[in-house]
Amino acid sequence: MIPPGSLALLAQGAAISLLLAAAAIVGGTALAIVLAAGAFSRIMAVRAAYRVYVYVVRGTPLLVLALLLFYAMPALDLRTGPYIAGTLVLIIYTGALFAEVFRGGVLAIPRPQWESARSLGLPPLAMFRKIVAPLVTRYTLPPYINVCVMTVKASSVLSIISVWELTLAAREIIERTFAVFTILGLAAVFYFVMCFGIDRLGRRLERHLALKGFAEARA
Amino acid sequence: MIAIRGLRKSFGSARVLHGIDLDIGDGEVVALIGRSGCGKTTLLRCINFLEEYDAGEIRLDGEPLWYRATPGGSRQRVAEADARRQRQQMGIVFQQYNLFPHMTVLDNVLLGPRFSQRVSAAEADQLGRRLLARVGLEAKMGAYPAQLSGGQQQRVAIARALAMRPKVLLLDEITSALDPELVGEVEDVIRSLLSERIMMVIVTHALRFAREVAHRIAYLSDGAILEVGAPAEVLDRPKDPSLKEFLRHVR
């Protein structure tokens, strides 16, 4: 038996989870582009800063990061609610993961492609827009989607800093109704549907961007 | 014209070029020949600065390229923007074509004029179509590189290099990766350029082709030019013993 009204609440929670993940994916991607550019900087200090950022953020549990920022922001006199802190934490976290994905993509560009582009005397912005971004997008789509899917699930951690989303909604319903397995099962289904949707979207993008004339591996 | 003076380069402790002097006159075609590892490709890549070099000078129509002397007597790389401008005066074609796989044939050709030289879209488009017609690939304009044969890809690469209206064309073993039956179509394109009087530096193992198109042939061995002169002189009356030996082996 599904407790009355719980489906609607879970759906609302899921909508917020999806919104949090979307903000994290958009913000994290933007952050990662800047970070990954830093990874290839000519200035050693910038490259070192990149490594420190990635190691620290990737080497810390998301839960700890969330608590840290949640308590640190008021201490810094930033009066933000848990939603802002939560979104920020997700952006910081996915930014590090996306940055490594992009760095891998840049490393995968064959040297002759760089040489061709350089020999045409392309200015940096055109080089990025016309060569680097399109190639890196194609090379990194599967691991990129991987991180996107993970972000949806990682947003559940924010329930610990009182961000009301799918997991917190489920816990509240459970406290009221004690329908532990029904509600958790339903929450899991909601998460799965969201992740599955992103997976499908990723596949469509992959097909759309597939390099014409190459044998396309379809799994 | 191009004037190369005292060009030296090492990879670590391996000296690959020591003291190259070479002039390429306006409209002149010079072929670089020699065994693998003799430094001919490195020399070509130094000319458009895909390789840095340790010492020496390269001038194009009098302008020193890539480095400028500092008051202290040492040298300094020119600013990136200057290097880009200097590169735009040269076109290079690689052994493995190196077309951009995510762009159509026409976009590959347009890229340089459109974004390096800021030619208008309409003008670049027209130029691209004309050059593709010239290499006989107008019909493949909308195709992607991987849909073409090696010979066709290499012809696109030549069109891409020409699109910058370069003063000099650098050709790095452009037929070495091709199936034998595709070599002719690429060589034909180069032959058709001879009337344009564009400077060319051709690194090649195809001595028959070098003899036909080059005004002069330079023979490199161990990073030095040991013999240079008209094809008939270098190929038929070689003086250097290692060149004699080399010619015996390739024939």
- Global ipTM: 0.86
Does B24 have pLDDT greater than 70? yes
pLDDT reported for residue A218: 46
Contact A10, A191 (CB under 8 A): no
d(CA B85, CA A70): 51
Please report residues of A whose CB lies closer than 8 A to that of B147: 212-213
Confidence of residue B215 (pLDDT cuts 50, 70, 90): very high
Contact residues on chain A for B102, CB-CB shorter than 8 A: 134-135, 138, 211
SS3 sequence of chain B: CEEEEEEEEEECCEEEEEEEEEEECCCCEEEEECCCCCCHHHHHHHHCCCCCCCEEEEEECCEECCEEECCCCCEEECCHHHHHHHHCCEEEECCCCCCCCCCCHHHHHHHHHHHHCCCCHHHHHHHHHHHHHHCCCHHHCCCCHHHCCHHHHHHHHHHHHHCCCCCEEEEECCCCCCCHHHHHHHHHHHHHHHHHCCEEEEECCCHHHHHHHCCEEEEEECCEEEEEECHHHHHHCCCCHHHHHHHHHHC
Question: Residue A213: what pLDDT?
Answer: 60
Confidence of residue A214 (pLDDT cuts 50, 70, 90): low
Cβ within 8 Å, pair B146-A130? no
Q: Please list every residue in chain A whose beta carbon sits closer than 8 Å to the beta carbon of residue B85.
A: 121
What's the one-letter identity of residue B230? A
What is the C-alpha to C-alpha distance for residues A219 and A139, in angstroms, rounded to an integer?
A: 16
- Three-class SS state of A1: coil
pLDDT for position B89:
92
Say whether pLDDT at B70 is over 90.
Answer: no
DSSP state at residue A161 = G
Residues 6+ apart with CB under 8 A from A20: A86, A87, A90, A155, A158, A163, A165
Residue B66 contacts A, CB cutoff 8 Å: no
Across the interface, of A119, A211, A214, the residue whose CB is closest to B48 is A119
Residue A144 is predicted with a pLDDT of 96
**Nearest by Cα to B176 from B41, B39, B30:** B41
List of chain B residues whose C-beta atoms are within 8 Å of the C-beta of residue A131: 100
Is the separation of the CB atoms in A192 and B124 below 8 Å? Answer: no
pLDDT tens profile A114-161: 999 999 989 999 999 999 999 999 999 999 999 999 999 999 999 999
First to last CA, chain A: 38
**Cβ-Cβ contacts under 8 Å, B94 against chain A:** 112, 115-116
A112, A118, A134 ranked by CB distance to B96: nearest: A112
- Give the model's pLDDT for residue A82: 87
Cβ contacts below 8 Å, chain A against chain B, sum to 74
Of A122, A138, A213, the CB nearest to B116: A122
Structure confidence at residue A217 (pLDDT): 45
Strand ranges in chain A using DSSP code E only, listed in sequence order = none
pLDDT band at residue A219, thresholds of 50, 70 and 90?
very low
**pLDDT confidence bin for A77, thresholds 50/70/90:** low
**Mean pLDDT rounded to a whole number for chain A:** 92
- Residues paired with residue B29 on neighbouring β-strands, in sequence order: B200
Q: Which of residues 65-124 of A touch B (CB under 8 A)?
A: 112-113, 115-123
Q: Which residue has the tokens 């006989």?
A: B136
For residue B251, the model assigns a pLDDT of: 66
Q: Percentage of residues in chain B with pLDDT exceeding 90?
A: 62
Quote the pTM value. 0.87
Give the chain A residue nearest B90 (alpha carbons): A119
Q: Decide if pLDDT at B91 tops 50.
A: yes
A117-151: b (≥16 Cβ within 10 Å) or e: bbbbbbeeebbeebbbebbbebbbbebbbbbbbbb
List CB contacts (< 8 A) between A130 and chain B: 100, 103, 111, 115
**pLDDT digits over B93-115, tens only?**
999 999 999 999 999 999 999 98
Residue B221, pLDDT > 50, answer yes
Contact assignment for B115 to A122 by CB distance below 8 Å: yes
Q: Mark yes or no for CB contact B87/A120 under 8 Å.
A: yes
Indicate the SS3 state at residue A104: helix
Q: How far apart are CA A59 and CA B40, in angstroms?
A: 49
Nearest CA in chain B to A215: B146
Q: State how far residue B165 is from chain A, nearest Cα, in angstroms.
A: 11
Question: What is the C-alpha separation between A93 and A61, in angstroms, rounded?
Answer: 10
User: How many residues belong to chain A?
Assistant: 219
